[in-house]
Amino acid sequence: MPDVRALTRRAVTLGVLAAAGAAAATAVRGSGRPAGDDGAVLSTSRRTASPPAPGGVRTAPLPAPSATGPAEPSPSPAPADRPELPRGGRDLFPRHRVVAYAGLPGAPALGRLGIGDLDARTAELEKLAARYTGSGADEREPLPALELIAVVAQARPGPDGTYRVRVGSEVVAAHLAAARRRRALLLLNIQPGRASFLDEVRALERWLREPDVGLALDPEWAVRGRVRPGEAFGSTTGKDLDAVSAWLAALVAEHDLPEKLVVVHVLAPSVLRSPGALRRRPGVRWVRSADGIGTKAAKRRSWERVQAGGVRDPAAREAPTGAGVLRPGFKLFLVEDERGSSRIMTPPEVLALDPAPDYVCYE
């Protein structure tokens, strides 16, 4: 049974998002700036200049918005100049452990990434990621990531009835620029409302052509029928994820990209049904993040339930389909995990989980 406290917290958050979205739309209308090609309102952020690519890392130029809509990215690099991950190489695991801040600008309730100065947050994240190196057989190179909520579930249907809104192109560009200044990944988080994950992923193609941009899918916000986001937990299936995986693998092959990270956030096992339908594909690495909220003991129990049958089973790790395709991830909540006498888990406590997570996210 999902944690009622978590559901209540998310329902309240929807109200915060609705108010923030309305305020942003009003501000942009007042500025006379246009909407993007996808109907999303563009942010008024000025931080859109593309930074130089980090040393040794091959990236395509960062597109900049224009008065006629978002510019298309430049062509992918030639095969002789193969794109790499932010800190070198083309493979994510087992070389790296990814450590992320999640959030949305102007919505502090949704995570640390949305609080204060973006460069201050990335500097803070760099120091935190260094604490997840590990030791012995599980020693890894930390790879910071910014998990930006790029598709936000809403309490109202909106003009297309999908109960979601896409953030402006300038917001994504600013976060990609900030990530590149720290040689970090950018992950675009999708809360789809009544839209499909595949449709929302396709809408982000211009960003996913970049070698340092991945995805995070949030199925608790994927609802159907008459249910509105926040009224009940949504869910997805292994079949739906596999459709995303097939599309993304084709994109990776077409543009000769390094491995793409896709995180699926799972609050409870019921949020991801029939994971066995997800197939292993070249160029796409999946992580199942256990998103339980509460005390250390409660989070460990949630970890056990969510990761059951996954990579801790040696046979599952080698299978072409099934839960073993999903590598382990873990989320910590900087506010909710510290209520009452509870204290947030430390990096050594997180690394003591079995198996140690490949992905750690702070919201």
Given a cut of 50, the residues of the chain with pLDDT beneath it are: 1-9, 11-12, 16, 19-20, 22-57, 59-78
Cα dihedral angle (198, 200, 201, 206), rounded to 10 degrees? Answer: 140
User: What distance in Å separates the CA atoms of residue 240 and residue 274, rounded to the nearest whole number?
Assistant: 10
pLDDT at 108: 87
Q: What is the DSSP letter of 138?
A: G
Which domains can be identified in the chain, with CATH numbers? Answer: 4-43+92-132+139-362 (3.20.20)
pTM: 0.81
User: Cα 179 to chain center, whole Å?
Assistant: 13
Task: Transcribe 105-119 into DSSP letters.
Answer: TT-GGG-GGGSS-HH
User: What distance in Å separates the CA atoms of residue 126 and residue 64, rounded to the nearest whole number?
Assistant: 26
pLDDT at 54: 40
pLDDT at 3: 45
pLDDT at 18: 53
pLDDT at 128: 97
Quote the tokens at residue 276: 């066995």
Please tell me the number of Cα atoms within 13 Å of 337 on its side-chain side: 20
User: What distance in Å separates the CA atoms of residue 35 and residue 159, rounded to the nearest whole number?
Assistant: 14
